Amino acid sequence: MTTDYDPIAEQYKRTKQQPWRAHVEAFTLMTLIGDPVGKTVIDIACGEGFYSRLIRRRGAAKVTGVDLSEKMIELARGTEAEERLGIDYIVGDGRNLGLGPEYDLAIAAYFLNYARNRAELDAMCVGVARCLKPGGRFVTVNCNPSCDFPSAPSYRKYGFETSVVGAWREEAPITWTFHLEDGRFDIENYFLSVRTHEQALHAAGFRAVRWHRPLLSPEGGAVYGQGYWSSLMDQPPLILIECLM
């Protein structure tokens, strides 16, 4: 893991206000998750708790958020102190959570894309698998391994850009540059192919692996116009995966 979120935690939290987050990312992830009422849910790489809160508000019985970054968890706990939802936030590594198979659903928004190689991806998939009950479901939104990032369009109008330096090959770093009103910052993901992801998920015991392209919310289309979203929807830099234990 090369991107340290401690120094950029507060800035990253503000990127969640960018319209594409609500109208594409969250709309698709929450559509795929479906009805979480009564379910036990773990949000791995929860950051400041954006999805932990959404899923708890939609009726999940228990939500645990885990993140490697102390600062991210501090922000999550701060929000929890202001609006008590009963979410437990833990500083921890998703590759080795030390939790038993106690969850119906594991979610992760941008976790697997921090694997720099197959071994790290294997460790992440095993980490997720270990906390799921038999039949439990894993739903994740991730940097898209089927996007050809070197030829991707500019996503600048949505508030971010992507770039690749050097050869486009397995393990190549992908830089996401986020733009905010008061500045910009970078985070780094890594390219591992669709096939590598499928192998790692199957090796961890997952089955019924399905990939889903992002969707646009009807409200997003109505407010901004369909044309506004074409770069993002035609060559999506994000993708969703769902699979079962």
Ligand X SMILES: C[S@@+](CC[C@H](N)C(=O)[O-])C[C@H]1O[C@@H](n2cnc3c(N)ncnc32)[C@H](O)[C@@H]1O
Considering only 53, 95, 130, 137, the residue that binds ligand X (CB under 6 A) is 95
Considering only 67, 80, 104, 161, the residue that binds ligand X (CB under 6 A) is 67
Write out the H or E segment, with its range, that includes residue 123. helix 118-130
Residues 160/174, Cβ–Cβ less than 8 Å: no
Max distance between CA atoms of the chain, in angstroms, equals 47
- Residues 218, 234: Cα–Cα separation, whole Å: 17
User: In sequence order, what DSSP letters do the residues of 176-233 get, joined into one string?
Assistant: EEEEETTEEEEEEEE---HHHHHHHHHHTT-EEEEEE-----HHHHHHH-GGGGHHHH
Instruction: Give the binding-site size for ligand X (rule: CB under 6 A).
Output: 20
> For ligand X, which is the closer residue by CB, 70 or 170?
70
Interacting stretch for ligand X, rule CB under 6 A, among 66-74, 142-150, 228-236, 237-245? 66-74
Interacting stretch for ligand X, rule CB under 6 A, among 31-39, 40-48, 192-200, 228-236? 40-48
The answer to whether 45 contacts ligand X (rule: CB under 6 A) is: yes
The answer to whether 164 contacts ligand X (rule: CB under 6 A) is: no
The answer to whether 104 contacts ligand X (rule: CB under 6 A) is: no
> For ligand X, which is the closer residue by CB, 4 or 208?
4
Residues 111/124, Cβ–Cβ less than 8 Å: yes
The answer to whether 69 contacts ligand X (rule: CB under 6 A) is: yes
Q: Which residue is nearest to ligand X (CB)?
A: 47
Interacting stretch for ligand X, rule CB under 6 A, among 54-62, 105-113, 208-216, 234-242? 105-113
Which burial class, exposed, middle or buried, applies to 125 when counting CB atoms under 10 A from its CB (0-12, 13-18, 19+)?
buried
**What residue has token string 């809160």?**
53
The answer to whether 178 contacts ligand X (rule: CB under 6 A) is: no
- For helices 194-203 and 118-130, angle between their N-to-C axes, nearest 10 degrees: 40
Residues that bind ligand X (CB under 6 A): 1, 5, 16, 45-47, 50-51, 66-69, 72, 93-95, 109-111, 114
